[in-house]
Structure 1
Amino acid sequence: MYEKKLREATIAVQDRLFLQTKEVIEGESFVRTLARKNLMQEQPNQIREAMIKGYVEMSHINLMIASECLHAEYEAQHMVERLVSGG
């Protein structure tokens, strides 16, 4: 008698789980749902990583420009001092 009730309860639980799973799969594709959740979690990280990479690359470019222009800055300052002093 106990085994029969246990078996009936097990079958009822399995049927209920099957129906719930079937509803989820039929209502919206399960794979599509997982892909959307994954995209929503990864997209902000991808944007952040792209921004970090861009800032690092731009910092190297800015340093090269500043290094190249430093000589011209000193030369211009020297020229102004020479013209102002008359020599």
Structure 2
Amino acid sequence: MKNRENHEEIIVRIPEQMLRGISEAAGSMRADSDGYVYLSTTSRTEDDQTNLIREAMMKGYVEMSHINLSIATECLYAEYEAEHTLERLVSGG
């Protein structure tokens, strides 16, 4: 779209979480002589990626804990059976 001053208007879709971060940082931003504010989204994106990785790791640990508990529960019976068999063999009964 062209506006009156022969500038092009660009519409950008920004995720709500990023928009909240931008509005939080708006107090410390300064505009240049033309009134434009330049904002680097690189650090914001890196922070979001770090949080996504952390959440994925937490989810993985929770899923793995359930698997480990299932394995330990299944092996408990086998350990009991092995101990019982050993006692029978050692005591001769």
TM-score in same-fold range (> 0.5): yes
Structure 2 residue aligned with 1:21:
36
Higher helix share: 1
Q: Which has the larger radius of gyration?
A: 1
Counterpart code for 2:84: H
Q: Which runs of 4+ in 1 moved over 3 A?
A: none
1:49 is aligned with what amino acid? E
Amino acid at match of 1:17: S
**What is the deviation of 1:82?**
0.3
| One-letter amino acid matched to 2:50 | P
Q: Which has the higher contact order (CA 8 A, sep 6+)?
A: 2
| Matching of residues 1-87 of structure 1 within 5 Å | 17-18=33-34, 21=36, 33-34=40-41, 36-87=42-93
Q: Structure 1: which 5+ residue stretches go unaligned?
A: 1-15, 25-29
Residue 39 (structure 1) shift: 1.1
What percentage of aligned pairs have identical amino acids? 58
Q: Find the counterpart in structure 2 of residue 12 from structure 1.
A: none
- In 2, Cα distance between equivalents of 1:64 and 1:78: 22
State the TM-score, normalized to the length of structure 2. 0.58
Query: How much does 1:72 deviate?
Result: 0.6
CA displacement 1:23-71 (0-9 Å, x = unmatched): x5xxxxx6xx32x232111011111101100000000000000111111
Find the aligned partners of 1:57 and 1:84 in 2 and give their Cα distance.
41
Query: How many pairs are equivalent?
Result: 62
- Measured in 2, the distance between the counterparts of 1:75 and 1:40 equals 52
TM-score of the two chains, using structure 1 as the length reference: 0.62
